[in-house]
Amino acid sequence: MKIRELLLLIVITLILTSCNTVPSNNSSASQFIQPMKQKEVLSPFTQFENLERNEDMVFNSKLLDDILKSYGIYDRLLEKVPKEDYIDSLCSDIKINGFSIENKKVAVLQIIKGHLYIYIMFSNSDDKWMVDGFAYQKEREKPEYRVEKSSDQAKYWLVIRHEANHGSGLQLFDEIWYNPDGSVAGEYPVEGSALFFPEMVVPEANAYFSASVDYDGDSSIYLSYSISFEYTYKSNAKDSGLYGLQSKFRPAVRDNWEYDLKTRQLKFLSCDTGLPQGFSRMEHLASDDFGILQGYIDFYRTRLGDKKVATLGEWEKFISAAPGLTSEK
């Protein structure tokens, strides 16, 4: 009995000794792993890419808000964005992109909640991520965005193409350049269309413009605009009461403008040669209402006066501004 009790005592002692040893080893391992976990928590890539959609294919807004609070941006965000739209809207998409500026890592986060499009700019300093600033748009259509860098790779801007104006027969898109702190560096029109003198030109005419954008890597943005005018008139087909045929003014007009990021001014440079002399009298202007179409609208308003344009022949004569221009049917 004594031998059996002695063996039992030895076994119990060994078990207790091994139990006391395991926590010591785990404690050492946790001290080694913990700093790695802290770095992962601070990375916006880990934070936001690990968010998952629920069964309704939307993101958990509470988890999203908690992450934003951890970066100290939540309260600042709600001070500027429409609060009810943010709180009441479901989060349908989250996207984050990273790149480098000089030797620094930066990231741009896009959050879509209803018609709110929020962009948050992050940077990494001393292995710690922080929020530099944010911008937002409330849009009917999803804006497009990109990042532009200076040629020396020392600066970057968030560029958002958004709907700047709309109305009856009018739609205008601008590009806004945001600094990393969320302040606006510049804005200019890139695309638009407008009814061309409704009720004076019948059945209907429209003016269009679109731009190709070339940033020089310093402070100048060169914009090459293509402008066209389109007249819609009734088809002669007996079985069609629709406006079926169109006439486009040719040649298409091409304007060259420059936007200066330092002065934040849009300046007309030149118009393609070969246009009739009648256009030399036109003052090239841009406005918030019609973009770079403003100068053309003012020019043709003077030509139109109180007359009406109701046929294709009258349209060709009106839009040509000088003999020799024809329209394409």
Domain boundary residue, one of 138, 170, 195? 138
Residues 123 and 171 in one domain: no
Burial string for 50-81 (b: 16+ CB within 10 Å, else e) reads: eeeeeeeeebeeeebbebbeebebeeebeeeb
Domain membership flag for residue 24: no
pTM across the whole model: 0.81
Domain boundary residue, one of 138, 171, 188? 138
Tens of pLDDT along 186-218?
999 999 999 999 989 998 999 999 999 999 999
Q: What is the dihedral of CA 81, 49, 139, 101, to 10 degrees?
A: 80
Residues 200 and 312 in one domain: yes
Q: What is the pLDDT of residue 37?
A: 42
Domain membership flag for residue 12: no
Residues 95 and 178 in one domain: no
Residues 91 and 178 in one domain: no
Residues 45 and 112 in one domain: yes
Q: How many CB atoms lie within 10 A of CB 47?
A: 21
Q: How many domains does the chain have?
A: 2
User: How much is the average pLDDT of 168-196?
Assistant: 96
Measuring CA to CA, how many Å separate 87 from each of 60, 74, 77?
12, 12, 11
- Dist. CA 109–CA 99, nearest whole Å: 12
Residues 90 and 238 in one domain: no
Domain boundary residue, one of 111, 138, 165? 138
Structure token pair of residue 188: 């200019």
Domain membership flag for residue 29: no
Residues 232 and 282 in one domain: yes
Tens of pLDDT along 282-318?
899 999 999 999 999 999 999 899 899 998 888 888 8
Domain around 79: 38-138
Domain membership flag for residue 272: yes
Residues 98 and 154 in one domain: no
Domain membership flag for residue 164: yes
Residues 181 and 293 in one domain: yes
- Dist. CA 309–CA 318, nearest whole Å: 8
Percentage of residues in the chain with pLDDT exceeding 70? 78
Residues 313 and 169 in one domain: yes
The beta strand positions in 76-219, using DSSP E, are 91-101, 104-113, 116-125, 128-138, 144-149, 156-167, 170-178, 184-195, 204-215
Least confident of 31-45, 66-80, 159-173, 298-312: 31-45
Domain membership flag for residue 93: yes
Handedness of CA 209, 210, 213, 219 (dihedral sign): positive
Q: What is the pLDDT of residue 6?
A: 53
- Dist. CA 190–CA 175, nearest whole Å: 7
Q: How many CB atoms lie within 10 A of CB 259?
A: 22
Contact between 271 and 284 (Cβ < 8 Å): yes
Residues 128 and 153 in one domain: no
Domain membership flag for residue 291: yes
Residues 79 and 158 in one domain: no
Domain membership flag for residue 21: no
